A and B are shown apart, each in its own frame.
Chain A
Amino acid sequence: GAGVSQTPSNKVTEKGKYVELRCDPISGHTALYWYRQSLGQGPEFLIYFQGTGAADDSGLPNDRFFAVRPEGSVSTLKIQRTERGDSAVYLCASSSGQGLANEQFFGPGTRLTVL
């Protein structure tokens, strides 16, 4: 079956613009995670969903960042008034459950560049 997919693979935008990043999890996976990976760093947790609801959004850096998962499958990460510091690779992952041992399957990421 298909893995986690993310679109677009690359996004270049100008400072101040609005962007949406999409994540398609593995079919049937109830948990979905967003991470941000800056150059030379490990992934940084942003938010995770269990079903349609955001179970933990404590990693969102500020109110310019918002994510939704209206039907419990596809998720969209939305960034308003982008800043140059938002430039990073945004990774999405999904898992079949929310247990400690549940493996997260990662997508290829969206590379966001804010000029």
Chain B
Amino acid sequence: AQKITQTQPGMFVQEKEAVTLDCTYDTSDPSYGLFWYKQPSSGEMIFLIYQGSYDQQNATEGRYSLNFQKARKSANLVISASQLGDSAMYFCAMREPSTGGFKTIFGAGTRLFVKA
């Protein structure tokens, strides 16, 4: 079964508008962490934002915020005031306990296109 599901292979957004990238996850462990990464065409993985399973408030980092709906097991990324440089692949990831520590599992990603 898929642990991380990103249902939007591609998304378009107009420059300066907000966009939401969807992510749902599946775990039976009460303790886990959720991450979003950006991967531009150059290939590097850039950490954007983190949400812990016990965090009461939604995480925010500048123009990025994470809409954490624990009961629905969703962790959507909201990018406000989109910029042309936001065009990239975006990956949702979950870290959960595993043998000897923690393991991080990534979704298949969403490609975001920002239009001028």
- Contact call B100/A100, Cβ cutoff below 8 A: no
Cβ of A48: which chain B residues have Cβ within 8 Å of it? Answer: 101, 103
Decide yes or no: A104 and B100 within 8 Å by CB, A41-B109, A43-B45, A91-B45 being known contacts. Answer: no
Interface residues of chain B, those whose CB is within 8 Å of chain A, are 4, 31-33, 43-45, 47, 50, 52, 91, 93, 95, 98-109
User: 6 pairs across A/B with beta carbons < 8 Å?
Assistant: A42-B91, A48-B103, A55-B99, A58-B98, A59-B103, A100-B31
Whole-angstrom distance between the Cβ of A98 and the nearest chain B Cβ = 4
How many residue pairs, one in A and one in B, have C-beta atoms under 8 Å apart? 64
Which A residues fall within an 8 A CB radius of B?
Answer: 31, 33, 35, 40-45, 48, 50, 55-56, 58-59, 89, 91, 93, 98-101, 103-106, 108-109
